[in-house]
Amino acid sequence: MNLVFLFAAAILSALTIYRLLLRPQMEGQPDGDTGRYRLLLLLAALLAVAVRVYRFGGVPGGFNQDGAMAAIDAKALADYGTDHYGMRWPVHLTAWGYGQMSALLSYLMAPCIKLFGFHAVSLRLPQLLVSLLGLAALYLFCREAFGKGPALAVLFFAAIDPWHIMQSRWALDCNLYPHFFLFGLYFLHKSLSGRKRLWLCFSMGLFGLCMYCYGIAIYTLPVFLVLACVYLLVKKRVRIGEALLALAVWLAVAWPFILVMAINFFRWDTIETPLFTLPYFAGSVRSGDILFFSENIPAQLWQNMKALADAVIIQKPDLPWNSIGQFGSLYLFSLPFAIAGLVWLLKRLKTSDGAVLLLLFFVTGVWCGLCTNNVNINRVNIIFYPMLCFTGLGLYAVGRCVRVRFLRPGLAAGYLLAFCLFCGCYFGPYAQQIEGYFLKDFGDAVVSLKDSPAEKLYITGKSQGENTAYVSQVLTLFYHETDAEYFQGKRQLPGLLPFRERYTFANMEQLVIDPQENAAYVAAEEELKFFELDAYEMERYGSYYVLRTKGE
């Protein structure tokens, strides 16, 4: 099916590009604001919401370890105003130690925990809400920049887009970045048509928050801001004073994160202020992800170019939580429409500020892919909103330029078929597959010991392969909803040993297993050989077993 659709898309897009370049009058007249339009807009909105909330919290099953890390820090922030290590209001999270984590998602999770409790729905709710707001901002931006018809086409495509659906249904800190970038872009464009300083300041505040979404914002977002500022100054759409005001507002929000990056680059000490902490991470290895720190920059740049093409253009299979191979991030046959949409956009650069800003958004995404080593979908996620726009605009252009009866219903039917197949896979076979990647069986085993009367708990270090005790610990903290001060050793819970004495995370072969000890175990199937099985009661959770001393 993909090859047939790709062939048809290529023919339609080639014809559209020809007519756009040589016979622009064939594009047709702008769409009017009719009852039919409003009905289609409502349908697109309902479709977008329905596919994102259906079985929300249950699909994907289990919980990704990075989402779990964000959640345990969020719980600590909600309870004590610290991360789970005890750092007071950190600007950037220590997280795994060797690799830090952006803080905004945890700060958004914290009030959800306070209001709704600690469970998958409340913890994934911020990403869902931000993603839905992203769709609204995308539609409003396109409507104001290009008109109602193009905006509706973009919204419909975004509503059923695999990338947008998948990232909205689980919790990963970096996936906030494209949405907050889009929010800033929308209000920046809005500032050009009225109440300039108000919307400009609001835009810069949102761009400032981008810095707390994903660390790569430090070398990607400024590229967009500088290019946009130069363009708007040259076109006399903003004055020098307004540009300086924008810079001041952005710095007012972003400076703590920028200072954290400086602290870690120059290896300064952690700075504690009355309001927040700017940490130094002695064990950080994140600089190895950036092109500028590579040992062989030309070779790494070539690798980055190939990785960018694989992730965005070819849409090769990515990490299973980022895409489903047979559908890709934008549907595998959509590239010709995206090219047609880019041509449609380029023809409007002289007359539309929105077209220029969207193109700069795309250029920033390309810069991100070139400068970040071996990107995958979530590392280059800011490029996908421009790609969504290009594809939707291309579909609109095809529908206006190619005068073939039933073409528009045919395009709609083709994408509806692809969408239905995607949903059937996502909520069917894929839902079973992703549970393994999100370690659901391990989580179920750990949950069964949450209120165990055993004095000690031994948790296998093979949760995510060999020697991944650090993942086992994070997931156990998550599933046991462990109190942060108990974890830190500052608080004693009635009837329990201190955390470091009660919990041990290790491969079973590293332990001396005593059947007489008042203990319970979570062991991988291949580790059962280290136990005297007659001495234990066992429960199976997929490839993991819970072993309790008989009579516990």
Note the pLDDT tens digit of each residue in 96-123. Answer: 877 789 999 999 999 999 999 999 999 9
- Nearest to 382, CA basis, from 189, 213, 150: 213
- Dump pLDDT digits (tens) for 300-351: 999 999 999 999 999 999 999 999 999 999 999 999 999 999 999 999 999 9
Token pair listed for 152? 């509706």
Question: Can you give the C-alpha Rg of the chain in angstroms?
Answer: 26
- The CA distance from 516 to 533, in Å, is 13
Dmax over CA atoms of the chain, in Å, equals 86
Provide the 10 A C-beta neighbour count for residue 242: 18
- The CA distance from 311 to 163, in Å, is 11
- Nearest to 487, CA basis, from 65, 67, 66, 87: 87
Token pair listed for 36? 């039919």
- Nearest to 49, CA basis, from 137, 133, 115: 133
Q: What is the reported pLDDT for 195? A: 76
Q: What is the reported pLDDT for 10? A: 93
Query: For the chain, how many residues are written?
Result: 552
Amino acid at 514: D
Asked if residue 341 lies in contact with residue 390, where contact means CB atoms within 8 angstroms, the answer is yes
Q: What percentage of the chain reaches a pLDDT higher than 70?
A: 97
Q: What is the reported pLDDT for 472? A: 97
Q: What is the reported pLDDT for 314? A: 95
In terms of phi and psi (left: phi > 0; alpha: psi -120 to 50; beta: otherwise), the region of 551 is left
- The CA distance from 442 to 505, in Å, is 13
Provide the 10 A C-beta neighbour count for residue 464: 16
Q: What is the reported pLDDT for 99? A: 73
Q: What is the reported pLDDT for 288? A: 67
- The CA distance from 135 to 392, in Å, is 13
Amino acid at 531: F
Sequence-distant (6+) residues with CB within 8 A of 392 are 142, 150, 153, 154, 155, 156, 157, 158, 341
Q: What is the reported pLDDT for 229? A: 97
Long-range contacts of residues 533-541, Cβ cutoff 8 Å, at least 24 apart: 539/445, 539/448, 541/441, 541/442, 541/444, 541/445, 541/448
- Nearest to 184, CA basis, from 342, 394, 375, 382: 382
Provide the 10 A C-beta neighbour count for residue 551: 5
Q: What is the reported pLDDT for 285? A: 61
pTM: 0.96
Instruction: Average pLDDT across each block of 10 residues of the chain; the chain has 552 residues. List them in order.
Output: 87 92 62 83 97 97 96 98 97 86 97 97 98 98 96 98 98 97 98 88 98 96 98 95 97 97 93 95 74 89 96 94 96 97 96 97 98 95 98 96 90 96 97 96 97 96 90 98 97 94 96 94 96 95 94 62
- C-alpha 488: how far from chain center: 29
Asked if residue 71 lies in contact with residue 123, where contact means CB atoms within 8 angstroms, the answer is yes
Provide the 10 A C-beta neighbour count for residue 465: 8
Q: What is the reported pLDDT for 290? A: 87
- The CA distance from 52 to 165, in Å, is 6
Q: What is the reported pLDDT for 32? A: 60
CA angle 119, 120, 123 (to 5 degrees): 85
In terms of phi and psi (left: phi > 0; alpha: psi -120 to 50; beta: otherwise), the region of 550 is beta
Q: What is the reported pLDDT for 119? A: 96
Helix (H) or strand (E) holding 544: strand 544-549
CA angle 117, 123, 124 (to 5 degrees): 140
- The CA distance from 336 to 330, in Å, is 11
Amino acid at 325: G
Q: What is the reported pLDDT for 453? A: 94
Q: What is the reported pLDDT for 291? A: 87
- Nearest to 370, CA basis, from 318, 286, 312, 322: 312
- The CA distance from 342 to 146, in Å, is 13
Sequence-distant (6+) residues with CB within 8 A of 452 are 520, 548, 552
Output phi, psi for 87, to 5 deg. Answer: -75, 130
Beta bridge pairs of residue 105: none
DSSP 8-class letter at 117:
-
